[in-house]
């Protein structure tokens, strides 16, 4: 036994590996056959097998492939009002190991809430709202994803430089309880509802500055504000009022004028309750109580309430109630504005060509069962060149399976989206809708190869391949995963 112990403790050089393994196994075999306690025949074959699990994955033919990072995910956990993150990895299976974002502030889950979040330049901006009109503590948190795009010819390589961490935050009683958040022309625009104004700041500065970045506040808009900025020179800020002097009001704000009072003039739309705005191709679009309104973006601020022409696009009327159809939010892809409208049998996916002399409505009927409701579309240009819009059908009430409808935006590849058609509908996991929160949320890796979406009702994140639109993975992350963002893709293209 002393010789066996010496052999087990000795250092074995790489070139001696097979000779030592063979000699060691001979000794173990002799001892096992002579009945030495604690030595079994199975031990011999465990030692002599060169493809044991202790070796690196993928180092032997037939072994499990090495895990490869696909993208980095950051999502809101509604249970704890925190941000979680994980690198999505794949090999023989899919993997996520959730962790908390470093430095994220501890919020009061009963009195504070995470609202919308947007990303640009590797920075994720997250809004925080409280239950007392901003008097308890509201504002925003900027998170550095740790991922950067490095341009390389006709694509970008992705560098994972650090784990996600808070870069800067502004949470206090003077931030006006933000809700809506946008990215226009590589700038963040955040509505400060309780202050009747908005804040804008640069993600590039957030990503590179070593000192606190200056966020600029502008007065304009009122109540539940939506925003549309054009050219980073002018911003249209809406009022939510249904009646009274501010019904249908849109403030036109000069971003170049010094000071907080940058109001140039105000417009009045035909109807109020404006709950949506966007800018595309030199035009600005609004979502009032009736249809969609639009104006030409006044970049030079040469217009006034009398000369500014307001266009109106009807979305039809509900046959039972007689009320006009409306929408609540927009998405953009190239020169097209996308949104949903209607309910039940009247549900539709809509598109407008913002470059057209007169934007005309393209309306695609979507099969939506009673009890489900379409949400705002999310758009991706997939790696294979296909353009898709993803529309969740979230549950309003009842016990009904929720769905994800995928629209092929450009079946013939001519970049004219007027021939868009439904290409697939999948069943999803459950949502957990409470007010404005608890909806499904989807994101796409930086190269357009995969989509990932949250199921708030069962604490999972699912993975879809954008090459065949099939579900590839279902991953349990716990909590109530809500809004989600993806940063980067595979690190090597060469």
Positive or negative CA dihedral for 316, 319, 323, 328? negative
> How high is the pLDDT of residue 62?
54
Span 249-272, pLDDT tens digits: 999 999 998 877 899 999 999 999
Q: Is the pLDDT of residue 21 over 70?
A: no
Q: 191, 177 in Cβ contact below 8 A?
A: no
Q: Token pair 């601020």 is at which residue?
A: 301
Length of the chain as a residue count = 494
Positive or negative CA dihedral for 368, 73, 461, 410? positive
Percent of the chain with pLDDT over 90: 80
**Three-state DSSP state, 323:** coil
> How high is the pLDDT of residue 9?
39
Q: Cα separations (Å) of 341 from 290, 367, 371?
A: 11, 13, 15
Calculate the average pLDDT of the chain: 88
CA–CA separation, 436 and 433 (whole Å) = 7
Positive or negative CA dihedral for 471, 473, 477, 478? positive
Q: How much is the average pLDDT of 400-423?
A: 97
Span 463-493, pLDDT tens digits: 999 999 999 999 999 999 999 999 999 986 5
Q: Is the pLDDT of residue 220 over 60?
A: yes
> How high is the pLDDT of residue 212?
83
> How high is the pLDDT of residue 435?
81
Q: Is the pLDDT of residue 46 over 90?
A: no
Q: How much is the average pLDDT of 160-179?
A: 97
Span 150-167, pLDDT tens digits: 887 777 799 999 999 999
Q: How much is the average pLDDT of 5-29?
A: 40
> How high is the pLDDT of residue 39?
40
Q: Is the pLDDT of residue 96 over 60?
A: yes
- How many C-alpha atoms does 164 have within 13 Å on its Cβ side? 29
Q: Is the pLDDT of residue 50 over 80?
A: no
Q: How much is the average pLDDT of 428-455?
A: 95
> How high is the pLDDT of residue 494?
55
Among the listed ranges 110-124, 189-203, 259-273, which one has the minimum average pLDDT value?
Answer: 259-273
Q: Is the pLDDT of residue 64 over 80?
A: no
- 361 forms beta bridges with 352
What confidence category does residue 45 fall into, taking pLDDT thresholds of 50, 70 and 90? very low
**Three-state DSSP state, 5:** helix
Q: Cα separations (Å) of 358 from 51, 289, 353, 354, 355?
A: 68, 21, 8, 8, 8
> How high is the pLDDT of residue 2?
40
CA–CA separation, 332 and 311 (whole Å) = 19
Among the listed ranges 29-33, 73-77, 314-318, which one has the minimum average pLDDT value?
Answer: 29-33
- 422 forms beta bridges with 407
234's enclosing H/E stretch is strand 234-238
Which pTM does this prediction carry? 0.86
CA–CA separation, 176 and 139 (whole Å) = 7
Q: How much is the average pLDDT of 411-439?
A: 95
> How high is the pLDDT of residue 404?
98
> How high is the pLDDT of residue 493?
54
Pick the closest to residue 44 from 63, 64, 69, 22 (CA basis). 22
Q: How much is the average pLDDT of 175-198?
A: 97
Does residue 138 or residue 398 have the better pLDDT?
138
Q: Is the pLDDT of residue 26 over 80?
A: no
What confidence category does residue 342 fall into, taking pLDDT thresholds of 50, 70 and 90? very high
Does residue 295 or residue 154 have the better pLDDT?
295
> How high is the pLDDT of residue 7?
38
242 Ramachandran zone, left/alpha/beta (phi>0; psi -120 to 50): alpha
Q: Is the pLDDT of residue 20 over 60?
A: no
């Amino acid at each position: 036994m002393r010789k066996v112990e010496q052999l087990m403790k000795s250092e074995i050089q790489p070139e001696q590996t097979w000779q030592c393994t063979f000699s060691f196994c001979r000794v173990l075999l002799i001892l096992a056959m002579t009945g030495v306690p604690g030595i079994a025949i199975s031990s011999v074959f465990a030692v002599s097998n060169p493809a044991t699990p202790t070796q690196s994955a993928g180092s032997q033919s037939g072994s499990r492939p090495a895990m490869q990072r696909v993208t980095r995910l950051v999502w809101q956990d509604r249970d704890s009002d925190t941000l979680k993150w994980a690198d999505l990895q794949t090999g023989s299976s899919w993997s996520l190991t959730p962790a908390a974002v470093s430095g994220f502030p501890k919020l009061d889950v009963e009195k504070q809430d995470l609202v919308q979040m947007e990303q640009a330049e590797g920075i994720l901006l997250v809004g925080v709202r409280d239950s007392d009109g901003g008097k308890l503590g509201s504002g925003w948190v900027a998170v550095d994803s740790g991922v950067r795009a490095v341009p390389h010819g006709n694509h970008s390589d992705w560098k994972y430089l650090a784990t996600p961490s808070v870069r800067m935050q502004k949470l206090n009683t003077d931030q006006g309880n933000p809700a809506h958040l946008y990215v226009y022309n590589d700038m963040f625009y955040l509505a400060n509802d309780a202050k009747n104004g908005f804040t804008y700041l640069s993600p590039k500065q957030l990503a590179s500055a070593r000192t606190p970045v200056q966020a600029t506040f502008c007065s304009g808009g009122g109540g539940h504000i939506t925003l549309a900025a054009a050219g980073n020179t002018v911003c249209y800020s809406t009022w939510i009022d249904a009646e009274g002097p501010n019904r249908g009001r849109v403030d036109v704000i000069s971003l170049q004028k010094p000071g907080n009072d940058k109001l140039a003039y105000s417009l009045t739309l035909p109807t109020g309750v404006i709950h949506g705005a966007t800018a595309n191709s030199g035009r600005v679009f609004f979502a009032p109580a009736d249809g969609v309104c639009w104006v030409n973006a006044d970049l030079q601020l040469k217009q006034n309430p009398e000369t500014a022409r307001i266009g109106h696009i009807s979305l039809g009327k509900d046959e039972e109630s007689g009320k006009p159809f409306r929408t609540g939010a927009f998405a953009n892809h190239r020169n097209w504005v996308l949104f949903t409208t209607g309910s039940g049998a009247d549900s539709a996916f809509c598109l407008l060509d913002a470059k057209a002399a007169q934007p005309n409505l393209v309306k695609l009927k979507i099969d939506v069962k009673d009890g489900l409701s379409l949400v705002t579309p999310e758009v991706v240009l997939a790696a294979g060149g296909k353009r898709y819009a993803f529309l969740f059908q979230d549950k309003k009430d009842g016990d009904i399976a929720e769905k994800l409808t995928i629209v092929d935006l450009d079946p013939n590849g001519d970049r004219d989206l007027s021939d868009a058609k439904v290409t697939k509908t999948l069943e999803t996991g459950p949502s957990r809708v409470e007010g404005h929160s608890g909806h499904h949320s989807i994101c796409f890796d930086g190269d357009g190869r995969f989509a990932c979406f949250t199921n708030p009702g069962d604490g999972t994140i699912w993975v879809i391949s954008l090459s065949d639109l099939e579900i590839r993975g279902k991953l349990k992350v716990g909590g109530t995963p809500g809004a989600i963002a993806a940063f980067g893709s595979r690190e090597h293209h060469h």
